[in-house]
Amino acid sequence: MRGGNKTHLMAARRFDLIKDRAQVKFCNELREISSNMKNMKQLENSVLVRRTDQIKEELRKGVRKPYREVIDVSWGDPHSGGLKPLSFVRQVLAACLHPQLINSNKMPMDARQRAQGLLNKCPGGSVGSYTATAGIPEIVHRVSEFITRRDGGVPSDPANIYITCGSQWALTNILNILVNPEASSRTGVLTPVPGFFVTNLSVKSLGGVTVPYFLNEEQGWTLQVEELHRALESAKGVCNPVALYVVNPGNPTGHLQTRKSIQEVIQFAAENRLFLLADEVYQDCIHGENRGFVSFKRVLAEMGPPLSDTVELASFHSASKGVLGECGLRGGYVELVNLDPGVMKYIYNLFSIDSCPPVLGQIGLDVMSKPPQPGEPSYPLYSQETQHIRTMMVQNVKKFSEVVNSLQGFHCQPLEGGAFAFPRLHLPPKAIEAAKEVGMQPDTFYCLRLQEEAGVIARPGCDCGQREGTYHIRFCIMITPDIMEELLRRLSNFHRKFMNDFS
Q: Which sequence spans correspond to the domains of the chain? A: 45-83+382-501, 130-369
Quote the pLDDT of residue 197. Answer: 85
8 A C-beta contact, residue 422 and residue 253: yes
- Across 169-174, average pLDDT: 93
- Across 162-167, average pLDDT: 93
Query: For residues 252 and 221, what is the distance between their CA atoms, to the nearest angstrom?
Result: 10
Task: Please determine, for residue 159, whether its predicted confidence score (pLDDT) is greater than 60.
Answer: yes
| Side chain identity at residue 180, one-letter code | N
- Write the CB contacts of 313 (distance below 8 Å, at least 6 apart in sequence): 275, 276, 278, 296, 297, 300, 336, 337, 338
pLDDT band at 184 (very low <50, low <70, confident <90, very high): confident
Tell me the angle at which helices 109-121 and 137-150 cross, rounded to the nearest 10 degrees.
120
Quote the pLDDT of residue 47. Answer: 80
Query: For residues 474 and 421, what is the distance between their CA atoms, to the nearest angstrom?
Result: 6
8 A C-beta contact, residue 334 and residue 316: yes
Quote the pLDDT of residue 351. Answer: 87
Burial 179-200 (b: 16+ CB within 10 A, else e): bbbeeeeebbbbbbbbbbbebb
Task: Please determine, for residue 3, whether its predicted confidence score (pLDDT) is greater than 70.
Answer: no
Tell me the per-residue pLDDT of 262-283, one tens digit each, with 9 for 90 and over: 999 999 999 999 999 999 999 9
Q: Choose among 170, 221, 181, 188: nearest CA to 16.
A: 181
Query: For residues 316 and 332, what is the distance between their CA atoms, to the nearest angstrom?
Result: 7
Phi, psi dihedral angles at 192 (to 5 degrees): -75, 150
Is the four-CA dihedral 230, 231, 234, 235 of positive or negative sign? negative
The structure's pTM equals 0.89
Quote the pLDDT of residue 88. Answer: 98
Query: For residues 231 and 17, what is the distance between their CA atoms, to the nearest angstrom?
Result: 31
Residue 223 three-state SS:
coil
**What single DSSP character describes residue 235?**
T
Sheet holding 459-460, edge to edge: 420-421, 473-476, 459-460
- Across 135-152, average pLDDT: 97
Tell me the per-residue pLDDT of 39-81, one tens digit each, with 9 for 90 and over: 444 556 678 888 888 999 999 999 999 999 999 999 989 999 9
- Across 393-407, average pLDDT: 97
Listed range (7-11, 126-130, 461-465) with the worst mean pLDDT: 7-11
Question: In CATH terms, is domain 130-369 a member of 3.30.70.60?
Answer: no
Tell me the per-residue pLDDT of 82-121, one tens digit each, with 9 for 90 and over: 999 999 999 999 999 999 999 999 899 999 999 999 999 9
Query: For residues 155 and 151, what is the distance between their CA atoms, to the nearest angstrom?
Result: 8
| Side chain identity at residue 332, one-letter code | G
The matching CATH number, chosen from 3.40.50.300, 3.40.50.740, 3.90.1150.10, 3.50.50.60, for 45-83+382-501 is 3.90.1150.10
- Please state whether the peptide bond connecting residue 194 to the residue before it is cis, i.e. omega within 30 degrees of 0: yes
Q: Choose among 352, 334, 421: nearest CA to 144.
A: 334
Tell me the per-residue pLDDT of 340-387, one tens digit each, with 9 for 90 and over: 998 999 899 888 887 899 999 999 999 999 999 999 999 999 999 999
pLDDT band at 497 (very low <50, low <70, confident <90, very high): very high
Quote the pLDDT of residue 181. Answer: 83
DSSP 29-58: HHHHHHHHHHTSPPPTHHHHHHHHHHHHHH
Query: For residues 177 and 10, what is the distance between their CA atoms, to the nearest angstrom?
Result: 8
The distance in angstroms from the start CA to the end CA of the chain is: 55
- Across 167-181, average pLDDT: 91
Residue 260 three-state SS:
helix
Query: For residues 418 and 420, what is the distance between their CA atoms, to the nearest angstrom?
Result: 6
Quote the pLDDT of residue 355. Answer: 82
Paired strand residues for 192: 213
Q: What is the 3-state secondary structure (H, E, C) of 133-171?
A: CCCCHHHHHHHHHHHHHHCCCCCCCHHHEEEECCHHHHH
Parallel, antiparallel, or unpaired: how do β-strands 424-425 and 410-411 relate? antiparallel
Burial 62-85 (b: 16+ CB within 10 A, else e): eeeeeeeebbbbbbbbbebbebeb
Quote the pLDDT of residue 30. Answer: 37
Quote the pLDDT of residue 280. Answer: 97
Query: For residues 253 and 422, what is the distance between their CA atoms, to the nearest angstrom?
Result: 5
Burial grade of 455 (CB within 10 A; 0-12, 13-18, 19 or more): buried
pLDDT above 70 coverage of the chain, percent: 91
- Across 292-310, average pLDDT: 97
Q: Choose among 385, 341, 350: nearest CA to 367.
A: 385
Average confidence score pLDDT of the chain? 90
- Please state whether the peptide bond connecting residue 123 to the residue before it is cis, i.e. omega within 30 degrees of 0: no
Task: Please determine, for residue 285, whether its predicted confidence score (pLDDT) is greater than 60.
Answer: yes
Q: CA-based Rg of the chain, rounded to a whole angstrom?
A: 23
